[in-house]
Amino acid sequence: AQSVTQLDSHVSVSEGTPVLLRCNYSSSYSPSLFWYVQHPNKGLQLLLKYTSAATLVKGINGFEAEFKKSETSFHLTKPSAHMSDAAEYFCVVSDRNYGQNFVFGPGTRLSVLP
């Protein structure tokens, strides 16, 4: 069975400082991993995805994540936070059965302080 742990339910950073949102996963197979962002009362937007290609994945809006198999981690980073980054972030793991069995992490709420 797959599972996702997002170690921080809430992260608060100042505008212009780096962002780190942590995600650890458990999967019996070689997983696909995704980060989604959700602004209040909105749907999900895909930030980036890992599907067994390069381990360092660059996404939209300056976000990137690194797949580390030895650590079973897929942490999301951004060098400089912007006020518009304040939102809920979900890490998702999927097994190798193409696009099926998405398991969502509990989410991390990112606050950006002026």
Partner 1 sequence: GAVVSQHPSWVICKSGTSVKIECRSLDFQATTMFWYRQFPKQSLMLMATSNEGSKATYEQGVEKDKFLINHASLTLSTLTVTSAHPEDSSFYICSANVAGSYEQYFGPGTRLTVT
Residues 68-87, interacting with partner 1 (CB under 8 A): none
Residue 31: Cβ-neighbour burial (10 angstroms; 0-12, 13-18, 19+):
buried
Closest CA to 86 of 65, 104, 108: 108
If the CB atoms of residues 34 and 112 are measured against partner 1, the closer one turns out to be 34
Which C-beta is closer to partner 1: that of 15 or that of 109?
A: 109
Q: How far apart are CA 31 and CA 98, in angstroms?
A: 10
> Residue 22 interacts with partner 1 (CB under 8 A)?
no
What gap in Å lies between CA 65 and CA 101, rounded to an integer? Answer: 21
Q: Does 11 bind partner 1 (CB under 8 A)?
A: no
**Interacting residues toward partner 1 by CB under 8 A:** 32, 34, 36, 41-44, 46, 49, 51, 90, 94, 98-100, 102, 104-107
